[in-house]
């Protein structure tokens, strides 16, 4: 194998051309696919599947971020341009969207000018046929001077992929080709490069007129246009989005999810009983407690939510694939622009609903430095997959699995993002900064069950891996700290407040009294949540001895017949405040690491973390105190102390905002 010839294939194309879908189809990888631009933010590599590779060579495909031009305007275009020019790929497969030929071929002509062998994959060709549009493949190949292969990356058979790989190997054998000239202009001169764009557009227009016969007139309003007038309407769009998200949470958290979770939790209970039987009575009670309550009980409590989470991921993947989430981005763009964010800020936040880490990493597509750093700081406010078990737990234990709880958390997150963006805009003094957002709306399509299933399984696998590593170790550590005191003596039953865990968490619990949850158990769960948000559920399971958070009937009667609210010492209002505190304070350590990488500035990083702490504390304080006042007619415990802390934080932020406004006025005066 070491002497086997290898071929490096670069996959390039415009955003939303089906490039990553094709990459997954030819490699068997499961890279994230979204039916909008900006999903791929860095190159990914994979070996071509043996079923498609009929050559005696090793073929490596490199999926590059979507680009409209070889003259990079954004960081992801810079990755693509740099790789193609500097990494010497043997052949370029240029994925061209057959439904938008004129736009796609502009980039194709630039690639052909590099002298590297190119094969055009005319993707989505099935959609053009449905519309009655025909493309003369032979004539297109003749005009471009390179092979053109029709592909349908979403199909499992007769998709043209084997022919595509075979053609790529064939042209790579021929080595460098003569550069293609579509403009007749000296490309070494910068002014000439700029002047050539007009000629290139004219050249592409001429090709399209020769090869494409489009039957559908653009003057006629299609069903797609009619749908957009409703779903992407500036006023109707948001309530429709709210209804959609409510339906998603209702299905995943209230109806279908719990039915599957009951069976899953039953298996975990069987494992618990089985291991308990294997251990027998001769095993040390401490070891038994760590293994059964700390590891199986704690991890099992988190993993028990896996069916709910996977159904949610599946439904969100369907929304992405059908093109709806791109409409959500358009609806939110008008609000984001008013607070100084880029329209591109929406994409990291949508990605962040799966996991905050890739969401934060996706901010590198934003060109403006201040907008990129602001987006990286605010993206973790969107509830991610790791926070879903926390949402599901409190929705089930305190609100009878009400779907409005999860839906509300998403919209509170959006509101905090908008408020936070406005604050940062005022503090930095860039009140008058302009933002541009150009986004191609993909066509609505029937979502692929296969792709949604693959996405669901991929995210579910990541959840299980985390549960089997980070969460397992953390819960074992929590159980050990709860079992022993500082003299490493076993804590007597009923004296858990003398344990190592209690002594560490108690000082933090005092700070949380004004928020309605000033006990060391709840403080300990919040602390471990900064390692991984799923740990909140695992730690609560360990410290309260509740291993089944799914069965609402069991939740109603735990620990000597008391209900879960009294065991945790929480009212429903305090439970809502605790939920918001865990959702809207800083994310896990890994996401903070991603923030550090994308911000590239320690001052911004620590300011962002402080802002997240302050925002989470303030939101929880207001929720608890105002909610308690409404439900009982009196303020909650610790109101005065909490008010002083919150007022001090708000006063400091207002001071920074005024300072920023003065800076902006001074800069405006100088420019005038």
User: What would the DSSP string read from start to end of 237-291?
Assistant: HHHHHHHHHHHHHIIIIIIHHHHHHHHHHHHHHHHHHHHHHHH-SSS-HHHHHII
As annotated, the binding site for GTP includes 13-20, 38-42, 63-66, 123-126, 152-154
209-244: string of b/e by CB count within 10 Å (b at 16+)? eebbeeeeeeeeeeeeeeebeebbeeeebbebbeeb
Question: Using CA of residue 68, residue 52, residue 152, residue 101, what is the dihedral sign?
Answer: positive
As annotated, the binding site includes 13-20, 24-25, 27-28, 38-42, 63-66, 123-126, 152-154
Confidence of residue 346 (pLDDT cuts 50, 70, 90): confident
pLDDT of residue 604: 92
Q: How is the chain split into domains, by residue range? A: 6-214, 380-442+484-671
The predicted model gives 174-196 an average pLDDT of: 53
Reference 127, options 150, 143, 94; nearest CA is 150
Phi, psi of 402 (to 5 degrees): -65, 130
pLDDT over 70 percentage in the chain: 84
Tokens of 112: 């052909």
Query: Which conformational region is residue 410 in: left (phi greater than 0), alpha (psi within -120 to 50 degrees), or beta?
Result: alpha
As annotated, the binding site for Mg(2+) includes 24-25, 27-28
Given a cut of 60, whether residue 553 has pLDDT beyond it is no
The predicted model gives 488-499 an average pLDDT of: 78
Q: What is the DSSP string of 651-663?
A: HHHHHHHHHHHHH
pLDDT of residue 561: 40
Tokens of 210: 């020769």
pLDDT over 90 percentage in the chain: 18
pLDDT of residue 34: 47
pLDDT of residue 188: 43
Confidence of residue 431 (pLDDT cuts 50, 70, 90): low
pLDDT of residue 187: 42
Confidence of residue 619 (pLDDT cuts 50, 70, 90): very high
Tokens of 339: 């607070």
Q: Are strands 6-13 and 91-97 parallel, antiparallel or unpaired?
A: parallel
Q: Are strands 91-97 and 118-123 parallel, antiparallel or unpaired?
A: parallel
Tokens of 398: 């305190």
* Greatest Cα pair distance in the chain: 88
pLDDT of residue 551: 53
Phi, psi of 443 (to 5 degrees): -70, 145
Given a cut of 50, whether residue 35 has pLDDT beyond it is no
The predicted model gives 629-634 an average pLDDT of: 91
Alpha-helical regions (H) of 569-601: 572-584, 589-599
Top-ranked range on mean pLDDT: pick from 71-85, 264-278, 382-396: 382-396
Give the bridge partners for 484, in sequence order. 490
Given a cut of 60, whether residue 184 has pLDDT beyond it is no
Q: Are strands 44-47 and 58-63 parallel, antiparallel or unpaired?
A: antiparallel
CB atoms inside a 10 Å sphere around CB 356: 30
Residue 58: strand, helix, or coil: strand
pLDDT of residue 37: 46
pTM (predicted TM-score): 0.73
- Going from the C-alpha of 113 to that of each of 11, 71, 168, 187, 542, the distances in angstroms are 17, 13, 18, 10, 63
Top-ranked range on mean pLDDT: pick from 45-54, 93-102, 447-456, 644-653: 644-653
> What distance lies between CA 593 and its chain's CA centroid?
16
DSSP H or E stretch at residue 9: strand 6-13
Specify whether the CB–CB gap between 28 and 46 falls below 8 A: yes
The predicted model gives 139-163 an average pLDDT of: 85
Given a cut of 70, whether residue 189 has pLDDT beyond it is no
Give the bridge partners for 119, in sequence order. 93
Reference 201, options 285, 284, 105, 120; nearest CA is 105
Window from 7-21, 130-144, 207-221, 586-600 with minimum mean pLDDT: 207-221
CATH of 6-214, one of 3.10.180.10, 3.40.50.150, 3.40.1550.20, 3.40.50.300: 3.40.50.300
Given a cut of 50, whether residue 439 has pLDDT beyond it is yes
The predicted model gives 276-287 an average pLDDT of: 70
First-to-final CA distance of the chain: 68
The predicted model gives 436-461 an average pLDDT of: 78
């Amino acid at each position: 194998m070491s002497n086997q010839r290898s071929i490096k294939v670069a996959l390039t194309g415009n955003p939303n051309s089906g490039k990553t879908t094709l990459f997954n189809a030819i490699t068997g990888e499961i890279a994230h696919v979204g039916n909008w631009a900006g999903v791929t933010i860095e190159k990914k590599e994979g070996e071509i599947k043996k079923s498609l590779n009929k050559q005696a060579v090793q073929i490596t495909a490199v999926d590059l971020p979507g680009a409209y031009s070889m003259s990079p305007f954004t960081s992801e275009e810079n990755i693509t341009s740099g790789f193609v020019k500097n990494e010497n790929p043997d052949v370029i497969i240029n994925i061209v969207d057959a439904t938008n030929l004129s736009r796609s071929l502009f980039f194709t002509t630039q690639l052909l000018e590099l002298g590297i062998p190119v094969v055009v994959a005319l993707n989505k060709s099935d959609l053009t046929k449905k519309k009655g549009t025909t493309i003369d493949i032979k004539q297109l190949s003749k005009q471009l001077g390179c092979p053109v292969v029709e592909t349908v990356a979403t199909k499992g058979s007769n998709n043209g992929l084997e022919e595509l790989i075979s053609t790529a190997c064939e042209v790579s054998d021929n080595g460098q080709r003569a550069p293609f000239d579509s403009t007749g202009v000296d490309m070494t001169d910068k002014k000439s490069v700029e002047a050539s764009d007009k000629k290139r557009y004219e050249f592409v227009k001429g090709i399209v007129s020769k090869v494409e016969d489009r039957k559908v007139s653009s003057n006629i309003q299609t069903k797609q246009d009619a749908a957009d007038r409703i779903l992407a309407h500036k006023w109707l769009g948001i309530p429709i989005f709210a209804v959609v998200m409510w339906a998603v949470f209702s299905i995943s958290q209230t109806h279908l999810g719990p039915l599957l979770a009951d069976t899953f939790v039953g298996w975990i209970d069987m494992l618990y009983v089985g291991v308990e039987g294997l251990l027998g009575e001769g095993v040390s009670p401490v070891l038994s407690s760590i293994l059964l309550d700390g590891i199986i009980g704690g991890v099992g409590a988190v993993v028990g939510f896996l069916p709910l989470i996977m159904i949610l991921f599946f439904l969100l993947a369907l929304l992405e694939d059908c093109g709806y989430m791109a409409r959500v981005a358009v609806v939110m763009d008008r609000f984001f622009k008013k607070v100084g964010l880029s329209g591109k800020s929406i994409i990291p936040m949508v990605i962040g609903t799966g996991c905050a880490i890739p969401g934060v990493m996706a901010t590198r597509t934003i060109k403006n430095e201040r907008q990129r750093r602001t987006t990286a700081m605010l993206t973790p406010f969107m509830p991610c997959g790791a926070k879903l078990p926390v949402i599901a737990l409190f929705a089930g234990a305190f609100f009878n699995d009400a779907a409005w709880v999860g839906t509300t958390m998403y919209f509170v997150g959006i509101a905090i993002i908008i408020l936070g963006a406005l604050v940062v805009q005022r503090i930095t003094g860039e009140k008058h900064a302009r933002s541009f957002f150009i986004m191609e709306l993909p066509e609505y399509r029937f979502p692929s069950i296969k792709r949604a299933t693959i996405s669901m399984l991929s995210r579910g696998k990541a959840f299980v891996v985390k549960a089997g590593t980070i969460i397992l170790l953390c819960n074992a550590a929590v159980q050990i700290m709860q079992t022993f005191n500082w003299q490493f003596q076993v804590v007597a039953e009923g004296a858990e407040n003398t344990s190592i865990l209690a002594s560490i968490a108690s000082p933090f619990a005092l700070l949380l009294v004004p928020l309605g949850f000033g006990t060391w158990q709840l403080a300990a769960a919040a602390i471990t949540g900064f390692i991984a948000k799923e740990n909140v559920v695992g730690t609560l399971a360990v410290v309260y001895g509740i291993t089944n958070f799914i069965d609402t009937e069991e939740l109603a009667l735990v620990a000597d017949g008391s209900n879960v609210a009294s065991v945790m010492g929480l009212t429903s209002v305090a439970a809502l405040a605790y939920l918001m505190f865990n959702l809207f304070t800083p994310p896990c350590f890994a996401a903070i690491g991603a923030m550090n990488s994308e911000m590239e500035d320690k001052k911004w990083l620590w300011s962002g973390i402080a802002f997240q702490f302050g925002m989470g504390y303030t939101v929880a304080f207001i929720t608890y105190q105002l909610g308690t006042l409404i439900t009982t007619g009196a303020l909650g415990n610790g109101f005065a102390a909490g008010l002083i802390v919150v007022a001090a934080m708000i006063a400091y932020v207002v001071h920074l905002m005024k300072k920023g406004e003065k800076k902006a006025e001074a800069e405006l005066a100088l420019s005038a």
